[in-house]
Structure 1
Amino acid sequence: MEYGYRSLKQFKLLQNYSNLFELPAEVKVFKYSSCGQYVAYALSDSVVIAKSDGSTLSELAVKQCQDLEFSNKSTFLQTWTRSVRLENQDFSENVELWTMDGTKQFSTTVKQLENWTLNFTSDDRYAVKQQSNELLVYDTKNWSKGFTNKLKLDGLVTYTLSPGQNPHLATFIAEKKGAPASLRLYSLLGLSNSSRPVSQKTFFKADRVMMKWNDIGTTLLFQTQTDFDKTNKNYYGESNLYLLSTVGGGYDARITLDKPGPIHDFSWSPNSKEFIVIYGYMPAKATMFDQRGNPTFDFGTNPRNFAIFNPQARLILIAGFGNLAGQVDIWDRKTLKKVCQIDCSNTSHCEWSPDGRYILTATCSPRLRVDNGVRIWHFTGKLIDINPIEELYQVHWKPQDSTKFSDIKLDSESAPTPNQSVLQYQKPVDNKPKVTGAYKPPHARGTPSSSGASTPRGKQVPGAPSPKPPPQRKQKDQNASQQTASPIAAQNDQLTPVDKKVRNLTKKLKAIEELKEKQKKGEKLERTQLAKLESEEEINREIAQLKM
């Protein structure tokens, strides 16, 4: 069991919970190669290519590297630094390609950090770069020759290159002058400006797309998204999901989703024959589809927004992260029965281990700046290891060939004994705040049923003058007053900090409901009011956590 992480003060590679390599220096970014044999990391004045145990292979004279990426077969390492304007007003070549021995092969200019990498075919034989509305194809055995083929498409926004033995380009062309947007698939081999797409789909309502190929590169799932919904039915804009194939005559389909609302996530199985979609207003629905877009299984509705198969396609993880409470469901793909449910609150990163038996969840900065660290879980739901890490920025399993591991036997496999860290850092259940008696909503606490409406104790009404101090009374009158007021005062004093927090959050939810009613009546809300509506899920999550 091996993984690496980067934090504010250190970079570590761990094997079976013990340090394999440690660098007590600031590392800007690190990446494993897909084969797991190499790891590269960027320091302020250089980039180091190392073996997976941390021993150095080569050191590159690249200063202030912001990102790096290995090619699919680990033939090349790409580095990105910030481009600067030269004296001739051109921009510097800030993307460089290196072999593992530190020899530079190629350089080019990509000013934006987003989508900066060249994309390589699965065998590293060809590389593709987008330059404005053109796609340039390079022969990686002869970089000095420059690009060998190109495809020019007016209105080209973005593209992706498929994996597999028969690589294809998926290109997204935006709407223009009333013409619909389109997604077109082209064969990479023999590409030219006269090439015809092997498959295409046209559609309106698409400001941007998210594209995901299956592992063998025969079928593409892509989600279209608008920034705004002109019908005002969806605050998050309108989204649709389509399927487009390179085989079978270019089969295409729009995926029918039977619950209104946004698409939260979609994920291919490693077997390339099925996928899961999580969609709809919360609680969202999770459904599995076959490779032609037909629904095959309904996982039900829950507050979930994340789905991923384990590398062997035997187990499925469906979770609610981000603004949701962090509950994780593990399903057995063979029986389609739930294996367990785990509470992984505050998770900002989640991965299956290469052997498909363990789950890594992490709380990372800057998404969350408290309780940063890594947790390792067995697929049965048992917590195996806790590793608190101050200001954790990055963490990844070391990649390994998933086919070399034995099949999972759900009926007989048990979780290993937890690491000592679980006992050391796990908070005892007794430390959780306890609320005695039946749960009462905050507005009903501390007020007898016959007392009617009243303002909370000690709360100043906005705009009202400050209350005058009460007049001095005789001791007898004071004692009588205290006896009369004591039941209400005592109840109010018994509110725990948790009760008070729930009370305040419930008031915010009530205000949000009032805004929703205004919106339904057609009233136009201000930007600050819309921001309050967006906070509803976060507030519900906090209340759920406080009541646990």
Structure 2
Amino acid sequence: PAPPELLRGGSEGLYMVNGPPSFTESTAFQRDSGKNCKAVAFSRDGSLFAWCNGERVNVVNLTRADAFNPQKPLFFFYFFFAAAKDGTAGVPNLQLHDLRTGKCLKSFIQKKINMDSQICSTQREFWALQAVDAIANKLHLQKVSDFVLSPGAQPTKIAVYVPGSKGAPSFVRLYQYPNFGGPQSALANKSFFKADKVTMLWNKKATAVLVIASTEVDKTGASYYGEQTLHYVGSSGESAVVQLPKNGPIYDVCWSPSSAEFCAVYGFMPAKATVFNLKCEPVFDFGTGPRNAAFYSPQGHVLVLAGFGNLRGQMEVWDVRNYRLISRPVAADSTCFSWCPDGEHMVTATCAPRLRVSNGYKVWHYTGTLLHSHLVPAEQEMWQVLWQPFLDGVFPERAVKLNPVPNELSRAAQAYRPPALRNKPGSTSRLHEEEPPQNMKPPQGGADKPLSKTALKNQRKHEAKKAAKQEAKADANQSPAQVSTPQITPQITPATTTGDPELDKKIKNLKKKLKAIEQLKEQAAAGKQLEKNQVEKIQKEAALLKELEDLELGV
């Protein structure tokens, strides 16, 4: 298939750019130079494109086919509800049109809308899109505050949220359309306290929902963001609370396209990121870092952890089939990110109104190579950048590459360093103690069975003994000259024994102090301002070295 096109919209108008590798303006879409082209939408397969220029809604067929697909003859457009000046309901803000004729088939006044390919729903009322003259079904559930229709194939499922009141808990229920007989007809029910609002996320196969429950205020005072919890609700009736091992806000949660796992980014900065399976068990922990978002590729084989918004735009690109780090590109001041449908490329952009300066976008290969960059002139704004969508399977998964794709622009994409640290050696100091990535799957032994606690203990003992033997063998292979004339340097040598426990203890303590002094010297060389007591420790280095030399020569 041809590379997906990239839509660009801003104060200079609306136009499309050919995808990699050309990045030239597309001829499939005639540029609209209007300054009010802010509302845009693609059909799910990318064949149709609609936009509003402030005067009318336009729909074009990007495939140049002679006729519209008969399965997609309808078109919805929705604008924010506003009451009339006299207090009446105002103009209907939800309208359904026939794409062939442009005729309005039905109009509604609705404050919230959701739909899939067959059903349109507003709070508790559902219409079949092929027959919208009458309500097809109605959910008899009071005080519904939010709802989400499942994606993917039929039958459609609905997740509804009812906030708690008068001491009763909040709850989320899952239904399968059109079975709305009452609580007994629900597929699953999950109740919880501490929820002023929720975010509900269906997986692609509509087998489970993740619910982020949030309170406006954290009564413990631990977080400015309020208090948040993550819940799992399966369409088969199972539910659980996802245990997050680090306190703090939940920045992002995203499902893998396989629907078999999900990634959560959470905790006070530096934030943790963890992949969980459908049993809500951790599978892989990415450690800590400056991140607040996660994005799976459309094929699910690559995961990007990113720090956008008030962070510096650092990205970590991971091969999630083997949990290998691929690259660490940096896209400073990015306000949006999206994967190309081919699973090979991604776009980062700085858009208004979030940021009104330095608007522009960059196209990357996931190996960290910057392929294309466009900066909007200072007097203009860019509002959005979108990839043309494609149906699943059009772009199959490809083997993950680890070597960067060559390109001259990639030289400009370098990690940000403060002015005080430029042209100086890298520092080993950290503002926060960082945790490294680790595989959370239990060790496998024998016929793919997890090792018992006793077996794990014995395995650790065996590995420790093996390491000790290797160290003793290395010491025995040293020449007499090396043993009799030790050279005292600030570097710490491997531990040796003298036969006197008290003397060994003194030598160990001295080496520990010298190691700490070395770390302080490295921090000072990197530009860190040391405390008075730290400077005094460095000044004692010569005396400590002399004391260590006397002890070792006396052995």
TM-score between both structures, scaled by the size of structure 1: 0.70
What are the superposed Cα offsets for residues 326-381 of structure 1, whole Å, 9 maximum, x if unpaired? 10000001110101110111110101110100010000011111111110000110
Contact 2:326 2:402 in 1 (8 A): no
Equivalent position amino acid for 1:401 in 2: L
1:87, distance to aligned residue in structure 2 (A): 6.8
What are the superposed Cα offsets for residues 157-187 of structure 1, whole Å, 9 maximum, x if unpaired? 1111112323221111111111111111112
2:28 corresponds to 1:25: no
Give the Cα–Cα distance (whole angstroms) in 1 for the partners of residues 165 and 80 of structure 2: 34
Partner of 2:105: 105
SS in 1 for 2:145: strand
Contact 1:169 1:188 in 2 (8 A): yes
Give the Cα–Cα distance (whole angstroms) in 1 for the partners of residues 65 and 50 of structure 2: 11
List structure 1 runs of 4+ shifted beyond 6 angstroms: 53-58, 423-430, 436-440
Partner of 1:210: 199
2:145 corresponds to 1:157: yes
Structure with bigger strand share is 1
Q: Structure 1 pair 79/355, CA: closer, same or farther in 2 (3 Å)? A: same
Partner of 2:360: 373
Partner of 1:14: 17
Partner of 1:117: 113
Give the Cα–Cα distance (whole angstroms) in 2 for the partners of residues 426 and 345 of structure 1: 10
Give the Cα–Cα distance (whole angstroms) in 2 for the partners of residues 426 and 332 of structure 1: 21
Contact 1:49 1:56 in 2 (8 A): no
Contact 1:360 1:377 in 2 (8 A): yes
Contact 2:370 2:413 in 1 (8 A): no
Contact 2:44 2:391 in 1 (8 A): no
1:105, distance to aligned residue in structure 2 (A): 2.1
Give the Cα–Cα distance (whole angstroms) in 1 for the partners of residues 295 and 287 of structure 2: 16
Partner of 1:244: 233
Partner of 1:535: none
Say which is worse superposed, 215-224 or 48-57, in terms of deviation: 48-57
Q: Structure 1 pair 74/212, CA: closer, same or farther in 2 (3 Å)? A: farther
**Greater C-alpha radius of gyration:** 2
Give the Cα–Cα distance (whole angstroms) in 1 for the partners of residues 411 and 403 of structure 2: 26
Give the Cα–Cα distance (whole angstroms) in 1 for the partners of residues 72 and 319 of structure 2: 32
2:397 corresponds to 1:407: yes
What are the superposed Cα offsets for residues 181-210 of structure 1, whole Å, 9 maximum, x if unpaired? 111111212334576322101111000000
Partner of 1:39: 49
Give the Cα–Cα distance (whole angstroms) in 1 for the partners of residues 271 and 46 of structure 2: 36
Determine what percentage of the aligned residue pairs are the same residue.
30
Q: Which has the higher contact order (CA 8 A, sep 6+)?
A: 2
Equivalent position amino acid for 1:311 in 2: P
Give the Cα–Cα distance (whole angstroms) in 2 for the partners of residues 152 and 403 of structure 1: 39
Give the Cα–Cα distance (whole angstroms) in 2 for the partners of residues 435 and 240 of structure 1: 41
Q: Report how many residues are paired.
A: 413
1:427, distance to aligned residue in structure 2 (A): 10
What are the superposed Cα offsets for residues 32-63 of structure 1, whole Å, 9 maximum, x if unpaired? 111100111101211101123799999xxxxx
Give the Cα–Cα distance (whole angstroms) in 1 for the partners of residues 13 and 52 of structure 2: 12
2:155 corresponds to 1:166: yes
1:82, distance to aligned residue in structure 2 (A): 4.9
1:299, distance to aligned residue in structure 2 (A): 0.7
Q: Structure 1 pair 284/429, CA: closer, same or farther in 2 (3 Å)? A: closer
Q: Structure 1 pair 147/314, CA: closer, same or farther in 2 (3 Å)? A: same
Q: Structure 1 pair 166/436, CA: closer, same or farther in 2 (3 Å)? A: closer
Contact 1:4 1:11 in 2 (8 A): yes
Partner of 1:398: 388
TM-score between both structures, scaled by the size of structure 2: 0.69
Partner of 1:385: 372
Partner of 2:121: 128
SS in 1 for 2:84: coil
1:84, distance to aligned residue in structure 2 (A): 4.2
* Equivalent residues in 2 for 1:338-487, closer than 5 Å: 338-389=325-376, 390-411=380-401, 415=405, 417=407, 422=409
Equivalent position amino acid for 1:158 in 2: D
1:106, distance to aligned residue in structure 2 (A): 1.6
Structure 2 unaligned blocks of 5 or more: 428-526, 530-555
Give the Cα–Cα distance (whole angstroms) in 2 for the partners of residues 245 and 81 of structure 1: 33
What are the superposed Cα offsets for residues 451-505 of structure 1, whole Å, 9 maximum, x if unpaired? xxxxxxxxxxxxxxxxxxxxxxxxxxxxxxxxxxxxxxxxxxxxxxxxxxx99xx
Measured on the aligned residues, the alpha-carbon RMSD in Å equals 3.2
Contact 1:186 1:195 in 2 (8 A): no
Aligned to 1:282, which of 269, 294, 306? 269
